[in-house]
A and B are shown apart, each in its own frame.
Chain A
Amino acid sequence: RKEVEQDPGPFNVPEGATVAFNCTYSNSASQSFFWYRQDCRKEPKLLMSVYSSGNEDGRFTAQLNRASQYISLLIRDSKLSDSATYLCVVNVWNDYKLSFGAGTTVTVRA
């Protein structure tokens, strides 16, 4: 079983729509969670960390559900520029290596 699993999508949404997707992780000792964004095989870039209480960054909201071992990302009022692959990333407490999901592709159409 993969450590981090994501629905690959693609999620095709119109501009202005809301899109949400999850990822699941297998290691219950996981402590830190992140969403990264990757454009067209450019380098992954940190989008946001995911905190236990959930957190927002503008139009992006991340949630963590430890009991069910998943994290989610919601994008409100989608822009064309949100089209990208979103990587779910997890690490076990004090382990400096990260586990990356394979990514969820989002395409926002005009």
Chain B
Amino acid sequence: DAGITQSPRYKITETGRQVTLMCHQTWSHSYMFWYRQDLGHGLRLIYYSAAADITDKGEVPDGYVVSRSKTENFPLTLESATRSQTSVYFCASSARGAEASYEQYFGPGTRLTVT
């Protein structure tokens, strides 16, 4: 089915381990985003990408790495997971719409727990 998917949906890992969260979209949207959402903080932008091989830091990039070798995929890697990275992670994508609007469409999220 067309849309945006994330995997895994749930992940428990230990402190210090490397974890990769996957995001895949079938709309050929140029723009992709990673957010984390914690109670009391709302959505916070981690990294974003305007196209394949173009990525940039958002509000809270420390401890994360991204890549985008293909338009449809935007994986997020936690290089050495810490307990403070326990969160719900949402991937989103968008394209330039009418009147230069850029509404985003979100994946179902990955609930990550770092023990």
Contact = CB atoms under 8 A, between A and B. Distances in A.
Do A and B pair up? The answer is yes
Interface of A: 31-32, 34, 41-46, 49, 87, 91, 93-98, 100-103
A14 B50 CA distance: 44
A49 B42 contact: no
B31 interface: yes
Given A44-B106, A96-B50, A102 B100 contact: no
Interface of B: 30-31, 33, 37, 41-43, 45, 48, 50, 58, 88, 90, 94, 96, 99-109
4 closest cross-chain pairs (CB), A and B: A102-B42, A32-B101, A43-B106, A96-B102
A44 B33 CA distance: 13
Contact of A32 (B58, B99, B106, B109): B99
B102 A41 contact: no
B91 to A, nearest CB: 9
Contact of A43 (B50, B96, B100, B108): B108
